[in-house]
């Protein structure tokens, strides 16, 4: 057990060096670069444009920051291993990936629920919005999302590293996912895997419940609206968030709420690539295309180089 920190795993990756896979790797790298640039721009726009200093856009900037960190957690190591031909990763490096990966996924789960609550208050209680969703409460809920996600990451990391592992083991993934790491342990991890499954279910069900309740109230409010313009604005705002929720939770449920016998390494790799690379690229597009304020902020940033 004490020697566990002195050996390396082998990340088999998602691509080989055939022409088709080289093209796919280039495509994934391009998508990752776009995701990095988009989320960086989103954070800068919201930070620099004083007109966007509201709870809704602050939460959006935190979502972009989480997506940005998620891309940086998995893609650089994958690209380095593929280009250099070295597929090794130390247990320390593997643990670092697990910590950030699980923490960011957990934090994003809770943040999406907070964003749904923000939309509920803005639409159903507009006159009391500054009371029910003030800057202090917004900051508190955001910090709570980060803390809960980090707490989850620390627990999963501590449990995963408590198991002994054999030397020079092959991980059938392009990064250290705890689900791909546990089968390589020398001991029986079935009890921990059951607890991990229950934890994933709870972390998905609770935020989804908040989202469903929030948008049920929003739907009732929309039905009572007499103005077609008001309905259009509500639809534009909520549809962007629901699109992101669908992408994120859909992939998460497919990945972590299936029984273990139904998992295959290739399926897990594809789904992981979807919500760690493709979803962070799509999120800023979804919000910027349907949001005039963000689009205007981007034009100011590109046109003047300053938003102040």
Identify the DSSP state of 185.
B
- CA pair distance 233, 243, nearest whole angstrom: 16
pLDDT per position as a tens digit, 105-117 = 999 999 999 999 9
pLDDT of 5? 47
307 domain residue, yes or no:
no
- CA pair distance 103, 43, nearest whole angstrom: 20
Sorted by sequence, the CB contacts under 8 Å of residue 31 that are 6+ apart come out as 277, 278, 281
pLDDT of 289? 67
The H or E element containing residue 11 is strand 8-11
97 domain residue, yes or no:
yes
pLDDT of 167? 61
Q: What are phi and psi of 85, to 5 degrees?
A: 85, -5
Least confident window among 26-30, 248-252, 254-258: 254-258
- Locus of tokens 């955001």: 142
Q: Which of 108, 25, 104 has the alpha carbon at shortest distance from 71?
A: 104
Res. 2 pLDDT band, cuts 50 70 90: very low
276 domain residue, yes or no:
yes
- CA pair distance 244, 210, nearest whole angstrom: 15
1 domain residue, yes or no:
no
pLDDT per position as a tens digit, 219-240 = 888 888 766 677 777 777 788 8
pLDDT per position as a tens digit, 88-134 = 888 888 999 999 999 999 999 999 999 999 999 999 998 899 999 99
End-to-end CA distance of the chain: 56
> What SS3 class is residue 27?
helix
2 domain residue, yes or no:
no
Q: Which of 28, 106, 110, 111 has the alpha carbon at shortest distance from 74?
A: 28
Over its C-alpha atoms, the chain yields an Rg (Å, rounded) of: 21
- CA pair distance 125, 132, nearest whole angstrom: 8
pLDDT per position as a tens digit, 204-219 = 889 999 999 999 999 8
pLDDT per position as a tens digit, 127-163 = 899 999 998 999 999 999 999 999 999 999 998 888 8
13 domain residue, yes or no:
yes
| Residue 19 burial (C-beta neighbours within 10 Å; 0-12, 13-18, 19+) | exposed
Q: Are 98 and 160 in contact (CB under 8 A)?
A: yes
Identify the DSSP state of 258.
S
> What SS3 class is residue 170?
strand
Domain at 183, CATH number: 1.20.1070.10
pLDDT per position as a tens digit, 162-183 = 888 766 588 888 899 888 888 8
Least confident window among 30-39, 108-117, 261-270: 261-270
110 domain residue, yes or no:
yes
Beta bridge partners of 185: 165
| Residue 112 burial (C-beta neighbours within 10 Å; 0-12, 13-18, 19+) | buried
Q: What are phi and psi of 295, to 5 degrees?
A: -60, -40
The parent domain of residue 150 ranges over: 8-299
Reply yes or no on whether the pLDDT at 3 is more than 60. Answer: no
Q: Are 270 and 18 in contact (CB under 8 A)?
A: no
What does the buried/exposed string (b/e) look like for 245-282 if buried means 16 or more CB atoms within 10 Å of the residue's CB? bebbbebbeebbeeeeeeeeeeebbebbbbbbbbbbbb
Q: How much of the chain exceeds pLDDT 70, in percent?
A: 90
Identify the DSSP state of 89.
E
- CA pair distance 67, 189, nearest whole angstrom: 30
Reply yes or no on whether the pLDDT at 273 is more than 90. Answer: no
| Residue 243 burial (C-beta neighbours within 10 Å; 0-12, 13-18, 19+) | middle
306 domain residue, yes or no:
no
pLDDT per position as a tens digit, 35-59 = 999 999 999 989 988 888 999 999 9
pTM: 0.88
pLDDT of 262? 62
Q: What's the domain count of the chain?
A: 1
């Amino acid at each position: 057990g004490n020697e566990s920190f002195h050996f390396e795993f082998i990340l088999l990756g998602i691509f080989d060096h055939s022409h088709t896979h080289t093209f796919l790797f280039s495509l994934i790298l391009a998508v990752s670069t776009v995701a990095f640039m988009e989320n960086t721009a989103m954070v800068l726009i919201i930070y620099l444009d004083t007109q966007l200093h509201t709870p809704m856009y602050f939460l959006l900037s935190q979502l972009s920051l989480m997506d940005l960190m998620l891309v940086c957690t998995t893609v650089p190591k994958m690209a380095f291993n593929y280009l250099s031909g070295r597929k090794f990763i130390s247990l320390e490096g593997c643990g670092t990936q697990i910590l950030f990966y699980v923490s960011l996924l957990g934090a994003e789960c809770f943040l999406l629920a907070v964003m749904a609550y923000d939309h509920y208050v803005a639409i159903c209680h507009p006159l009391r919005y500054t009371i029910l969703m003030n800057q202090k409460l917004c900051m508190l809920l955001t910090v709570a999302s980060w803390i809960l996600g980090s707490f989850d990451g620390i627990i999963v990391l501590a449990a995963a590293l408590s198991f002994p592992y054999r030397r020079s083991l092959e991980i059938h993934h392009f990064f250290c996912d705890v689900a791909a790491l546990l089968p390589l342990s020398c001991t029986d991890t079935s009890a921990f895997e059951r607890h991990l499954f229950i934890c994933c279910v709870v972390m998905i069900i609770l935020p989804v419940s908040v989202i469903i309740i929030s948008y049920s109230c929003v739907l009732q409010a929309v039905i009572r609206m007499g103005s077609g313009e008001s309905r259009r604005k509500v639809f534009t705002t909520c549809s962007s968030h629901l699109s992101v929720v669908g992408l994120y939770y859909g992939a998460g449920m497919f990945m972590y709420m299936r029984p273990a016998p139904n998992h295959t390494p290739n399926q897990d790799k594809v789904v992981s690539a979807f919500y760690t690379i493709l979803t962070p690229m799509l999120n800023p597009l979804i919000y910027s295309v349907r949001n005039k304020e963000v689009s205007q902020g981007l034009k100011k940033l590109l046109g003047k180089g300053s938003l102040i």
